[in-house]
Structure 1
Amino acid sequence: MVQHNAFQESMALFDPDEAVSPPKGTTQPSYLRDHRRRLRDRFLAGGADALPDYEMLELVLFRAIPRQDVKPLARKLLDRFGDFNHVISAPAEHLKETKGVGDAVVLELKIVEAAAHRLAKSRVIQRPILSSWQALIDYCHTAMAHRETEQFRVLYLDRKNVLIADEEQAKGTVDHVPVYPREVMKRALQLNASALILVHNHPSGDPSPSESDLRMTEQIDRSAQTLGLTLHDHIIIGKSCELSFRSEGYL
């Protein structure tokens, strides 16, 4: 979703057939040139919704592999990782396990991923979070939904609930991340924050909270109240959905 928007905005800045200079003495087969131009024209006319995932991947791969048919590689990547979002967010070492993927391909995929993250973040940073909730959820999904290990982030807000910092507090394993309430509170005081939102992901895809999630949230909530801070929510990001502690009655 957000990834596609970022890619669409960046693609308008260049012609993929001109972005990488071909080796001297080589020519691009006319059928490939025509195919690439048709894809580019369809994208510019209809945006990401006009193309299936494998053709979106082709557009990215054109820049890394300027003189070959990249459709088979796009298909292989989708067969392995599932969809466009999972491909661009896959770890580099896993991408390179697919035959045909080298440093150039990884670079182009990671540029698209980084652009998506930056665009999503620009829609929430220095803005009132409670009135931009869907943008916040989109940003969290973009940044965390496809990670293979748990990550715990804290969003620090000022008195007007404007996001002043988004910081990773801890990384963990596939099903656990260590969280230290004292460190969360210490950083809140350093930033002069008035409120916070906790966010972490479940690589399993199921956003249901564990007992340790519930205990940790309760500890941070008590600590925040003692310091006069507000814990607005704890959001768990799954593969395609999320869970809000506030909405589910845990806060």
Structure 2
Amino acid sequence: MSIKDWATGERPREKLLQRGANALSDAELLAILLRVGTQGMSAVDLARSLLDKYGGLGGVMHASADELSQHKGMGLAAYAQFATVLEIGRRVLSEELRQQPVFNNPQVAGDFLRLRIGRERVEVSMALFLDTQNRLIAYEELSRGTVAENIAYPREVARLALQHHAAAVLFAHNHPSGSLKPSPEDFAFTQRLQAALALLDIVLLDHVIVTATATVSFVEQSWLKS
């Protein structure tokens, strides 16, 4: 049955308008983006099949163009829509970080980092550059490596911090394995980075390890000493 044959109150778009977006299931939200289904499948059915294949909304939104194109009823137009929604989410969170001190709302910073690098399939490191009130000035991707490792250099972080006139830096990198446990190299790098920034009177506020579903803070775990 096509969605247009459903009762008005059960159609995803009408349901959203009447009851709000939070009343919709993941499949219904995705169906609104898809707009139409494919032969033998409504947009909601197609959305459910995508959620099953990719393990949820996060997996769908981060799927590559090639991956989506292999799924029945999907193509580059759908990929462009998903990539647009994901980037809008990232930019909304970055705006929130610019308007308030990062550590006033750790959840916002954590959500931003997970959206930015949490689902990357290789290790990616990035830095958030902050002003004297710990508000976001800018963020930069620093390095991109293999599944197991990437190399970021303290001198490059320091150079960018000076370029952005930052008073503090929050460094982050992801673990594609899903593990939040720091490696010995993570600890050693944190010490080197803290020492390099201190020479410039710039504070290393934190080092955050990021996965698709969670983050761990060196400061909160007392792994980073001021």
Q: Is the 8 A contact 1:117 1:139 kept in 2?
A: yes
Please name the residue that 2:201 is paired with: 228
Q: 1:18 — aligned with what?
A: none
Paired position in structure 2 for 1:166: 139
Distance 1:36 1:228 in 2: 64
Does residue 4 of structure 2 align to residue 33 of structure 1?
yes
Distance 1:78 1:233, change over 3 A: same
Distance 2:24 2:15 in 1: 8
Residue 167 (structure 2) pairs with residue 194 (structure 1): yes
Alignment of 1:106 with 2:68, yes or no, is no
2:98 is paired with a residue whose SS is coil
2:45 is matched by which residue type in structure 1? Answer: P
Name which of 212, 218, 233 aligns with 2:191. 218
Give a deviation string over 1:164-197, Cα, whole Å, max 9, x none: 1111111122221111111111111122211100
Q: Contact 1:64 / 1:104 at 8 angstroms: preserved in 2? A: no
Q: Is contact 2:64-2:79 (8 Å) kept?
A: no
Identical residues among aligned pairs (%): 34
Cα distance in 1 for residues equivalent to 2:19 and 2:175? 34
Aligned length: 221
More displaced 10-residue stretch of structure 1: 159-168 or 70-79: 70-79
User: Do structure 1's residue 88 and structure 2's residue 65 form an aligned pair?
Assistant: no
What is the CA distance between 1:126 and its match in structure 2? 4.7
**Residue 151 in 1 paired to residue 124 in 2?**
yes
Cα deviations across residues 177-220 of structure 1 (Å, max 9, x unaligned)?
11111111111112221110001111222221111111111110
- Alignment match of 1:119 (pick from 75, 88, 92): 92
Contact kept in structure 1, 2:90 and 2:116, CA below 8 Å: yes
**C-alpha separation in 1, matches of 2:98 and 2:122:** 25
Q: Which residue of 1 aligns with 2:16?
A: 43
The residue that corresponds to 1:241 in the other structure is 214
CA–CA separation in structure 2 for the residues paired with 1:73 and 1:33:
15
C-alpha displacement of 1:83: 0.4
What is the aligned-residue RMSD (CA, Å)? 2.2
State the SS of the aligned residue for 2:84. Answer: helix
Q: Does 1:74 find its partner at 2:55?
A: no
| Change in 2 beyond 3 A, CA 1:36/1:131 | farther
Aligned-partner SS, 2:222: coil
Structure 2, unmatched stretches of 5+, are none
Equivalent AA in structure 1 for residue 44 of structure 2? K
CA distance in 2, matches of 1:47, 1:146: 28
Corresponding letter in the other structure for 2:192: Q
1:49 offset after TM fit, Å?
2.9
Deviation at 1:63, TM superposition (A): 6.2
- In structure 1, list runs of 5 or more residues that go unmatched: 1-28
Give the Cα separation in 1 of the matches to 2:159 and 2:22.
45
2:124–2:150 Cα contact (<8 Å) kept: yes
